[in-house]
Each structure stands twice: as structure tokens, then as C-alpha cells.
Structure 1
């Protein structure tokens, strides 16, 4: 099935990439623009865990990872739609999965089980996105 000379599969791939782009750019840029507030919150979340001493560094790493995942996903989705080149979209989804894995692990360590559970749907969507890219070799 084609929609304006694009297959339905390609539309799904692009939309998942754009979704990941919006999700991670918003989350990462929120951390950048309210760095002090977000860092303080993360340090309080991990205050009673073995990660308390490195929570500031981990916050910086996850911020960078989210911004990179968002940029690669968003611009990769657009580039794939226009040019048909899918490498950046795939990289974006891979970075998105890595970001979600890190966030999930941190929330489990902090015993925020509800927060960790809320990430499962996003993780499955990003994994599905990689799967649909694998369908067309």
C-alpha cells in the first residue's frame, strides 16, 4: 500500500522515529534548560542508594544520551522520509532504547517501581521501531 509514493511501512518507521525524537528532545532539553532543578531532583532520588555519590555524573550522561537520541531520531526520521537513508533513524532508535534502559535501571534501583513500569510501553515502541526497520533490509 502506498501513500503519496511512500509505503505504509515507511510511514510507520518515520512516525516512530519522529515520536522518539519528540520524546527524547523534550526530555533531554528540559534537563538542559532546568539543569539545576533536575539535577537536584535526581540527587534526592538516589540519595539512599549506592549511586548517590555518582548521581550527578549519571544525570549528565543521561541528559547527553537523551539529547543525542532525540536529535538522531527526529532528524533521522525526516531524512529517511525525504532521502530514503535510514541509518540515522536506526541509530536514534538504538540510542532511545539505551536511554530507556538506563532510566528503567535507575528507577528500579531507586525503588520507583511505578516510574519504571511507565517506561515499558516506550521501550516496546522503540524496539518495535527497530523491528520494522529490520523488515526491509
Structure 2
């Protein structure tokens, strides 16, 4: 079990991050759309906020579920490399890149920097689970 501890921990980080974020989007959809509409008002995403938010929501839920499934798979079969956790890490990276793109479009450089902080462990998970 100790040989997969780093993978389990980073998958837990990603699962918590994306499942909580997805839950927040579902719980306060209207508030998120309103805030993001203002945030992206001067970008090419200005009229696409609900669609973009739904896309991110779906990716976050898929990433979170795959990461949780990967945790279960690693606990059950520690010798397995790749597997569901790997795909969870890949979807996490794609989601974070989309979020980074949006923050850069909105010229929210502090927000973009925060996303990079999450991107580093996501890439580490891809590397460890490959």
C-alpha cells in the first residue's frame, strides 16, 4: 500500500477539488452564471457562459468520479498502473487547462496562477499513474 500512497493522495486531492467544485456549481448555478457573465463580459465567452459552465461542470464531475474510482481501484489492486485514476488525472488536466484558458481570456492572472497550482499535482498524477 505504501508504494501507491502518493498516487492515492493526489487522486484524493483531485477528487475533493472537482467534486466540491461541481457540487458548488449545481447548488448555486444562477449565482455562478451571474458572476461569470460579468467576469467574461469583455471576452469571446461573453455569450457562452451557461454552455461553458455546463461543460466545465460535466468535466469536473467526470474527473472527480474517475479519481474516486481510481482510488478504489488502487486500494483493491495496488499493482495496477494506468486504470481509472490515470483517466481521472487526464480529465483533471484537460479541465484545468480549460479553466486556465478562461482566466487568461478574462485577464484574471491571479486566478490563472491558482489554477496552475492545481495543475502541477494533476500532471504528477498522470506521470505516476502512467
After TM superposition, the score normalised by the length of structure 2 is: 0.92
1:105 shift after superposition: 0.4
Q: Which residue of 1 aligns with 2:111?
A: 115
1:26 aligned to which of 17, 20, 26:
20
1:19 shift after superposition: 1.1
Report if aligned partners of 1:14, 1:78 keep a CA contact under 8 Å in 2. no
RMSD over aligned Cα atoms: 1.2
Report if aligned partners of 1:18, 1:73 keep a CA contact under 8 Å in 2. yes
| Cα distance in structure 1, aligned partners of 2:53 and 2:77 | 35
Unaligned runs of 5+ in 1: 1-5
1:45 aligned to which of 36, 39, 43:
39
Deviation per CA, 1:89-131, whole angstroms, max 9, x where unpaired?
Answer: 1111011001100000000000100100111121011101111
After TM superposition, the score normalised by the length of structure 1 is: 0.88
| Cα distance in structure 2, aligned partners of 1:12 and 1:66 | 21
1:74 shift after superposition: 1.7
Q: How many residues align?
A: 128
Report if aligned partners of 2:85, 2:129 keep a CA contact under 8 Å in 1. no
Q: Detail structure 1 runs of 4+ shifted over 6 Å in the superposition.
A: none
1:44 shift after superposition: 1.2
User: How do residues 36-115 of structure 1 correspond to structure 2 at under 5 angstroms?
Assistant: 36-84=30-78, 85=80, 86-115=82-111
Question: Which has more radius of gyration?
Answer: 1
Report if aligned partners of 1:107, 1:113 keep a CA contact under 8 Å in 2. yes
1:48 shift after superposition: 1.4
Unaligned runs of 5+ in 2: none
